[in-house]
Amino acid sequence: MNWKIILLLLAILLPVVQAQVAIESFSSNPQQVLPGEEVILQLEIENVGTERINDVLVSLDLAQLPFVPVDSSTEKIIEKIWDDNSEFVNFRLRALPTASPNIYKIPVTLSYNSIKQTSLLSQEIIAAPELTVLLDNSNLVNVNHQGDINLKFVNNGLIPLTYLTATLRESPQYEVISSKSVYIGDVDPADFETEKFTLLAKTTDPILVLYLQYRDQNNQEYSTTVLVPLNVYTDEEAKSLGLLPTTNPLWIVMVLIIIALIAWYIVRRIRKKKHDN
C-alpha cells in the first residue's frame, strides 16, 4: 500500500480514535412523571478520548413519544469538552396530558467530528388511580325499614384497577343485612362495576362508610375510605313526597259507613225474625 494512502488513513482515523464522547450518566427529576407534569433530564457527556472535542451536538428524538420540550429545543450544543472531562446538559420536558402510563425509550444522539452515535434513555410515565363510588339506585326509603342499594364503582383514571374489594362498615345509622364485603375484581379505565347491599336504616339520611382496597397495574396496593350519603325519610316525609302509598281519609269514612249499614241491616233482620216468631 502506498505510504501516502497510509498517512491519509491515519490522518482520518486518528482524530476519531483520540476524540470519543459517551453518555457517562443519566438522571431524571422526578424519576416518574404524571401526565401533564414536567421532568428534567440531565445527561453527563464525557470525553473518553485524549483530545479536546468541540461543538458536540446533543439531540433528543421525541417524534414518536408523548413528550414536548419546555422553554427550549430538543437540541443542545456543548462548545468544548476537554479530554478526560465531562460536561452536563439538561432538557426540560413535559409529558402530554393524554400520555398513557408506560416506560418510554428516548433516543439521544451525540454528533461531533462527522460522527453520530445514538443511545436510548428510559423515562416512566405513571398515573394515579382514580376510583369514584356513586349511588346508582336505592329502594331504601324510610326509617326502620330495609331495602336494597346499588353502588357504582367508576374508574375515572388512565390505568386499570385490579383486585378491588369493597367493605361496608357498620354504623349506628344503619345495619348491614347482606354481606358486608364484596369482591369486585378488575375495573378498566372509563368503565364501572355495580354491587348491591341490603340495609336497614336506623336514622334519616344515613351516610355509608365504605372501605376500598385495590391495586394498580404495577401491583401497588391502595386503600381508602369513601362516604356515600343516602336519602332516607320518616314515614310522614316519604308519604308527602309520594314515595310511600297514602291512605285517603274519605275511603276510611266510606268503609266505616258501609260496615255500619251492613251491621244495621243484620241487626234489623235479626229483630224482625224474632218479632215474626
CA 234, CA 241: separation in Å to the nearest integer? 11
Mean pLDDT by 10 residues, the chain (277 residues): 46 49 93 94 93 94 96 92 94 94 95 93 92 95 94 94 96 96 95 96 96 92 96 86 65 71 75 66
**Cross-strand bridge partners of residue 214:** 222
- Give residue 2's pLDDT: 56
CA 89, CA 177: separation in Å to the nearest integer? 64
Task: Find out whether 58 and 74 touch, Cβ atoms under 8 Å.
Answer: no
**DSSP letters for the chain:** --HHHHHHHHHHHHHHHH--EEEEEEEEESSEE-TT-EEEEEEEEEE-SSS-EEEEEEEE--TTSSEEESSS-SEEEEEEE-TT-EEEEEEEEEE-TTPPSEEEEEEEEEEETTEEEEEEEEEEE-----EEEEEEEE---BTT-EEEEEEEEEE-SSS-EEEEEEEE--BTTEEE-S-SEEEEEEE-TTEEEEEEEEEEE-SSS-EEEEEEEEE-TT--EEEEEEEEE---B-HHHHHHTTSS----HHHHHHHHHHHHHHHHHHHHHHHHHHHH-
Residue at grid coordinates 383486585: 163
Task: Find out whether 193 and 151 touch, Cβ atoms under 8 Å.
Answer: no
Grid cell in block for residue 123: 423515562
Indicate the CATH number for domain 131-240: 2.60.40.10
Residue at grid coordinates 330495609: 146
Q: Which CATH architecture has domain 17-125?
A: Sandwich (2.60)
Nearest to 154 by CA among 184, 199, 114, 117: 184
Task: Find out whether 107 and 75 touch, Cβ atoms under 8 Å.
Answer: no
- Give residue 221's pLDDT: 95
Tell me the backbone φ, ψ of residue 16, rounded to 5 degrees. Answer: -65, -40
Residue at grid coordinates 375484581: 185
Task: Find out whether 63 and 87 touch, Cβ atoms under 8 Å.
Answer: no
- Give residue 190's pLDDT: 92
CA 84, CA 78: separation in Å to the nearest integer? 15
CATH 2.60.40.10-classified regions of the chain? 17-125, 131-240
Peptide bond into 189 cis (omega under 30): no
pTM higher than 0.85 for the full model? Answer: no
